[in-house]
Amino acid sequence: MILFGKNTWLCYGETFTIVFGFFAKFAPIQSRVLTKSTNNTITKTKQINLKEIYLCIFGSELLNIKKISISETLLVILLLATVTFDGFTGTLIWINFQNYITQFIPNIMLINTIGLLFSVLIFIGIYFYFCVLMMIASENNLKTTDIAKSFVYTLIPIALAYHIAHFLLFLLIQGQLIFALISDPFGFDWNLFGTTNYKINFMLVSSNFYWITSVISILIGHIIAVFLSHTIALRLIKSHKYAIRSQYPMLILMVGYTIASLWIITQPMYN
């Protein structure tokens, strides 16, 4: 931040700001910077940046695919890969694999780190592979990287949906600790609101509620993703016929991830 300045760092270097910026594209209230000329002459034009707040259709900002960088593309894929791997590490398959690998690498943290790196590489490889298939199906002059950048925002609804499904139970159960912490935020043995001794209610939500909410979240996220992908294809590819054809690989990719996501949340968690 010191080297590049506050705005530049927050826009391009601070990961959480960028990630929440992705999710903020769902918001029906958006802001943009307007450039206003204070002088009609060309040689003496002073520029003033003005912020404008406006209303838009829920999620419509995800259709704004201008100036998407390759680093943004990779970050969206990283977002999807990490939360998926985090869910997968709680399954019996990973636990058994981990126990087997510890015979050769007796460091669980190292095993998980390697697994995370491999999952990111696998997700990137799969996404770009399907982008190649889309390029072939569209019979267009677009490059694979152009297709990858143009359609990567369609993965954001999927990532958000799986984040909700994956962390919902953690939020509703562990999140109750806020009631105790709000009475003693600094650990000074305060009891400002009389809630210091609050105990977590594990029966707050039933397993059925968690399961149904997670499934609905994932399905809605994928439906939105398919719609966005279809709309972007029609904008990007002039021929309606080839635009539709280009979506077959993306549809297969999204359906495949839907199945994988639903499978993970149905597995008993062991950590």
pLDDT tens-digit map of 47-89? 445 677 878 777 788 887 777 889 989 999 999 999 999 989 9
Is residue 35 pLDDT above 80, yes or no?
Answer: no
Asked whether residue 271 is domain-assigned, the answer is no
- Name the region of 187 (left: φ>0; alpha: ψ -120 to 50; beta: rest): left
Say if residue 56 is in the same domain as residue 173.
no
Say if residue 208 is in the same domain as residue 116.
yes
Asked whether residue 244 is domain-assigned, the answer is yes
Say if residue 17 is in the same domain as residue 136.
no
Q: What is the mean pLDDT of the chain?
A: 85
Instruction: Identify the pLDDT of residue 271.
Output: 62
3-state secondary structure of 44: coil
C-alpha torsion sign, points 251, 255, 258, 260: negative
Q: How many domains does the chain have?
A: 2
Whether the pTM exceeds 0.95: the reply is no
Say if residue 108 is in the same domain as residue 37.
no
Average confidence (pLDDT) over 189-216: 86
CA distance 271 to 267: 12
State both tokens at 224: 């939105």
Say if residue 86 is in the same domain as residue 171.
yes
Is residue 140 pLDDT above 90, yes or no?
Answer: no
Asked whether residue 254 is domain-assigned, the answer is yes
Is residue 106 pLDDT above 50, yes or no?
Answer: yes
Asked whether residue 93 is domain-assigned, the answer is yes
3-state secondary structure of 67: coil
Domain that holds residue 33: 6-61
Is residue 5 pLDDT above 60, yes or no?
Answer: yes
Say if residue 29 is in the same domain as residue 88.
no
Say if residue 57 is in the same domain as residue 69.
no
State both tokens at 129: 């592979």
CA distance 6 to 14: 10
Say if residue 180 is in the same domain as residue 151.
yes
CA distance 68 to 65: 6
Q: How many CB atoms lie within 10 A of CB 41?
A: 7
How close are the terminal C-alpha atoms of the chain, in Å?
37
Domain endpoint, select from 30, 46, 61? 61
What's at 63, amino acid-wise? Answer: L
Say if residue 171 is in the same domain as residue 229.
yes
Say if residue 244 is in the same domain as residue 127.
yes
Q: pLDDT band at 39, cuts 50/70/90?
A: very low
Say if residue 49 is in the same domain as residue 74.
no
